[in-house]
Structure 1
Amino acid sequence: TAAHPTGDTGHALGVVTWAASAGRLGHDGADRSYRLVVRTSVGGSGLRVRLSNAFGDRPLRVTAVHAGLSDRGAAVRDNRRLAFHGRPSVTIPRGAVVWSDPLPGHVPAGALLTVSLHTPDAAGPATGHALALRTSYTARGDHTAEESAAPFTRTTDSWWYLDAVSVRPDHPATGAVAALGDSITDGRASTPDRDLRWPDVLARRLARTALAGVADEGISGNRVLSEGGGTSALGRLDRDVLQLPGVRTVILFEGVNDLKAGTGVTAADLIAGYREVVRRAHAAGMCVTGATVAPFWGWPEWSPAAEDVRQEVNHRIRTGHVFDAVADFDRALRDPRHPERLRPDYDSGDHLHPDDRGMRALADAVDLARLRCDR
């Protein structure tokens, strides 16, 4: 369920400038302030935030939300209150998301933005993104309006309740790209607090183009076809991609977790899942770039059978006209002498997740000119 002020449309919501896929988090206690730090992609005015109770088992009350530019640590400057239907607080129904009203003023591209929110009586499962790779902060009591870092004595490696931010871009024709993926898209093994996931690097490449907004919708362990690390890609496609404002292109980079799970997933199964993503994205007017599945020889769940399926899937992606365009991530990462494994200089050490250099290679493998299609 998507709730926003009466009369709003996708156009009024602008373009997504940051997003992170929501999942189920453990209960963190009542009367908490969260000071969440995120990096914008596209700049603009009329900032809105989307709060999520997608995985809660009861309504979630949020009594105050503020947004400003990050200063040192948990400190913030130009910290201003956000409203919901003109009110400072909002109750989010179980399973729902809600957009704030627009905030006057301009937010720069590539800025560190701080969103502070207070939950007085949260209980049960929380909603958020576990692997933020960005230090955020918490405090007991409502300290959302304070610009000082002093009350925020604890750190958190997750983003709580916040799952998207949008702006009205400086150039009205600007759109966004959503990267739908698993742990590699989530940035696992990239350096924390430096925004070196491949979608982050891609955002810097796209900064002066008509697709300057980038949403990183990666979840570690995620699969296309079945529940694994969170809701399957097919199950979360609407909330995490199709309902985000301004998205014109989806980059789909998933499949390795389906293959290594040992569930007997075939190439035909995975291609059918990809085609379903494409069908639904096309129905929403979006283009889809499909990425080939990267090598993972040396990972404990690698097997010759899974490798055979990976090779068949990649052949179909390259030649089968499954997608509007192809990003050959396999070619970008594989060892030329042993193509079933990662290049050693891109391997973080676990033989599945690329390091910072590998993340850059993935971003560089995306042909920016082919991200748009005639839809």
Structure 2
Amino acid sequence: MSVLSFVSELRSFSFSISALVIWLAFSPYTSAVSAASLGRRAGNETDQFHWVATWTSMPQLVEPHNLPPEPFTSSSVFEDATLRQTLHMSIGTDKIRLQISNTFGGSELPITAASIALPTGGQAGVGNIDTEKLMGLTFNGSPSVTIPVGEVVYTDPIDFKIKPQSMITVSLFFDAGQSGTSVTGHPGSRTTSWMQQGNYLNESSITEASVAHWYFLSAVEAWAPQTTSALVILGDSITDGRGSDDNANNRYRCLLIAPF
């Protein structure tokens, strides 16, 4: 069955899919991609907007061998360091918000500052950004936030235009870092993340060290019409991207939305 035929079948069973999403969203190795018009609503609701995931990463406790390399891991993680990560969006939008997770952290997660930009050349896994598109992120109006153990926070919504199936770059600066070595992340990112000692939040390039893991970021949500829904895919490590190429966005779930 072709991808288009498969998606057509999904649309014809949109009611059943909606029921499954509620159940599957809490399962390991679940990833969400957004697909427009999985179900249409009548009346004035078509003119309304809501938050829908355009990128997600299932958080987990990061294993010791997947922690950042020294000196970014010692008695704390990312002390006086900047972390830069690229993410592949599904749908486009003019407004987004980010979810940052401390679900599995062993201590509070203090984020000193955060920013969003577009990666150089629109590429995945690069440490360079287009500084003309750089914007600071805030949390309830503040540039910093401390996330309690077991919690998530959202950034304030920001007017930041993204195209469908494009890349964004999110940079986080940690002054004190997260105490201990129990941190939240997603080791199977198949995408290179970059880190640098010191505050390089607004710098055009980060080059000191890199790993193919994501840390702390768990969702990007788009402000989208009510006719836009999230499709959740349940599977094992193949669904998570095993067997795909780093920085190529060729996981099968990425290819599923390619026709759109």
Do residues 118 (structure 1) and 149 (structure 2) align?
no
Q: Which position in structure 1 is the counterpart of 2:190?
A: 133
Q: Which position in structure 2 is the counterpart of 1:351?
A: none
Offset of 1:51 from its aligned partner?
Answer: 0.4
Does the Cα contact within 8 Å between 1:133 and 1:192 map onto a contact in 2?
Answer: yes
Q: Which position in structure 2 is the counterpart of 1:101?
A: 156
Does the Cα contact within 8 Å between 2:49 and 2:226 map onto a contact in 1?
Answer: no
Give the alignment partner of residue 119 of structure 2, picking from 70, 92, 116: 70
Q: Any idea what SS the aligned residue of 2:254 has?
A: helix
Does the Cα contact within 8 Å between 1:13 and 1:166 map onto a contact in 2?
Answer: no
Q: Any idea what SS the aligned residue of 1:113 has?
A: strand
Unmatched segments (≥5 aa) in structure 1: 1-10, 208-375
Do residues 82 (structure 1) and 156 (structure 2) align?
no
1:276-355 correspondence to structure 2 within 5 Å: none
Q: Any idea what SS the aligned residue of 1:185 has?
A: helix
Q: Which position in structure 2 is the counterpart of 1:185?
A: 239
Does the Cα contact within 8 Å between 1:69 and 1:111 map onto a contact in 2?
Answer: no
RMSD, aligned α-carbons:
1.7
**Misfit runs of 4+, over 3 Å:** none
Higher RCO by CA contacts (8 Å cutoff, separation 6 or greater): 2
Q: Which position in structure 2 is the counterpart of 1:61?
A: 110
Does the Cα contact within 8 Å between 1:23 and 1:129 map onto a contact in 2?
Answer: yes
What is the one-letter code of the residue matched to 2:152?
Answer: V
Q: Which position in structure 1 is the counterpart of 2:4?
A: none
Do residues 152 (structure 1) and 152 (structure 2) align?
no
Offset of 1:181 from its aligned partner?
Answer: 2.6
Offset of 1:68 from its aligned partner?
Answer: 1.1
CA distance in 2, matches of 1:69, 1:156: 20
Offset of 1:63 from its aligned partner?
Answer: 0.8
Q: Which position in structure 2 is the counterpart of 1:18?
A: 55
Offset of 1:12 from its aligned partner?
Answer: 7.1
Q: Any idea what SS the aligned residue of 1:199 has?
A: helix
Offset of 1:16 from its aligned partner?
Answer: 0.5
**More displaced, 24-33 or 46-55?**
24-33
What is the one-letter code of the residue matched to 1:137?
Answer: W
CA distance in 1, matches of 2:50, 2:207: 31
Does the Cα contact within 8 Å between 1:136 and 1:156 map onto a contact in 2?
Answer: yes
Do residues 38 (structure 1) and 50 (structure 2) align?
no
**1:34-68 CA deviation, whole Å, 9 max, x = no partner?**
10011000110221111000111111100111111
**1:98-139 CA deviation, whole Å, 9 max, x = no partner?**
111111131111111101111222122111100110112111
Does the Cα contact within 8 Å between 1:32 and 1:119 map onto a contact in 2?
Answer: yes
Offset of 1:20 from its aligned partner?
Answer: 0.9
CA distance in 2, matches of 1:76, 1:180: 33
Q: Which position in structure 2 is the counterpart of 1:173?
A: 227
Offset of 1:172 from its aligned partner?
Answer: 4.1
**Structure number with higher helix proportion:** 1
Give the TM-score, by structure 2 length: 0.70
CA distance in 1, matches of 2:241, 2:127: 23
CA distance in 1, matches of 2:246, 2:55: 17
**1:165-216 CA deviation, whole Å, 9 max, x = no partner?**
01113x44211112233201111111111111111111223x2xxxxxxxxx
CA distance in 1, matches of 2:160, 2:88: 17
CA distance in 2, matches of 1:117, 1:13: 26
Q: How many residues align?
A: 193
CA distance in 2, matches of 1:198, 1:204: 10
Give the TM-score, by structure 1 length: 0.49
CA distance in 2, matches of 1:13, 1:91: 26
What is the one-letter code of the residue matched to 1:130?
Answer: P
CA distance in 1, matches of 2:226, 2:117: 23
Offset of 1:143 from its aligned partner?
Answer: 1.2
Does the Cα contact within 8 Å between 1:53 and 1:126 map onto a contact in 2?
Answer: yes
Does the Cα contact within 8 Å between 1:13 and 1:48 map onto a contact in 2?
Answer: no
**Structure number with higher strand proportion:** 2
1:349-368 correspondence to structure 2 within 5 Å: none
CA distance in 1, matches of 2:236, 2:187: 13
CA distance in 2, matches of 1:12, 1:101: 17
